[in-house]
């Protein structure tokens, strides 16, 4: 595991974008696993700028998003489909057919999850997976006590996660209580993982995930077992780490 501590969020975003851009340039048909939320936003802005300024080419790239709220329409501004279109996809030259996001409107959840796993396998697996980390240690929407052998599945969101995401909705009652998420097993099968964390409120969970025991109660701790993880933190998120 490599850990980079950057001075601030802007430098964190640039470092993450540089790593993704290097992957794209070295393997133009890379399969990227992408995350949503506040932390990756700066990285996506940097990638869009690289596309516009340096002709970073997304034409052959395939993407698979980590998760999607269950029960939200794609056009809903709080859906992750909408997030990805607004923050990355509509600004680069990626092909529509190469974009994959879990189907939050699926009537048959088991079939939709199985199909998503099949598409990942068909693409040859994920070359580089981007992750954030929740305040309770979740990655994707894999909440504490998740089974490490889980693949893409329906998740019942913890109260902490619902509370953390309430700021994006009109009220906490509007926050979906379920989501479709890649499982821990799927995430761990990625060839390379890039974990991003920013802000003072993440410092304790980052320390536990990277330096503590590997426990299902702290899903991100399983990343200690992966053979190619890059962690990019800002100074605030790194504040509790004992060793860097």
Residues with active-site annotation: 67, 136, 138, 143
140: DSSP letter: T
From residue 27, alpha-carbon distances to 23, 123, 129, 217 in Å are: 6, 14, 14, 36
State whether residue 103 is helix, strand or coil. coil
For residue 32, give the nearest of 90, 81, 101, 83 by alpha carbon: 101
Element (H, E) at 142: none
Q: Which residues pair with 205 in a beta bridge?
A: none
- Unique residue bearing structure tokens 């889980």: 150
């Amino acid at each position: 595991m490599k850990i980079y501590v950057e001075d601030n969020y802007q430098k964190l975003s640039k470092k993450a974008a540089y790593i993704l851009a290097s992957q794209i340039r070295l393997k133009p048909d890379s399969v990227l696993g992408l995350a949503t939320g506040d932390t990756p936003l700066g990285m996506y802005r940097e990638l869009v700028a690289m596309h516009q300024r340096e002709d970073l080419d997304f034409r052959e790239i395939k993407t698979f998003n980590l998760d999607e709220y269950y029960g939200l329409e794609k056009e809903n501004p709080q859906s992750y489909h909408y997030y990805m279109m607004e923050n990355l996809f509509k600004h680069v030259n990626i092909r529509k057919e190469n974009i994959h996001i879990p189907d939050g409107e699926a009537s048959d959840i088991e079939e939709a999850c199985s199909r998503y796993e099949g598409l990942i396998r068909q693409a040859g697996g994920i070359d580089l997976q981007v992750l954030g980390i929740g305040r309770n240690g979740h990655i994707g929407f894999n909440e504490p006590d998740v089974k490490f052998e889980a693949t893409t599945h329906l998740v019942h969101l913890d109260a902490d996660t619902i509370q953390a995401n309430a700021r994006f909705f009109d009220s906490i009652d509007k926050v979906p209580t379920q989501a479709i998420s890649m499982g821990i097993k799927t995430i761990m099968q990625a060839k390379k993982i890039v974990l991003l964390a920013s802000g003072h409120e993440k410092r304790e969970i980052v320390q536990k995930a990277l330096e503590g025991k590997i426990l299902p109660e702290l899903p991100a701790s399983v990343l200690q077992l992966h053979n190619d993880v890059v962690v990019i933190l800002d100074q605030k998120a790194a504040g509790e780490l004992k060793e860097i």
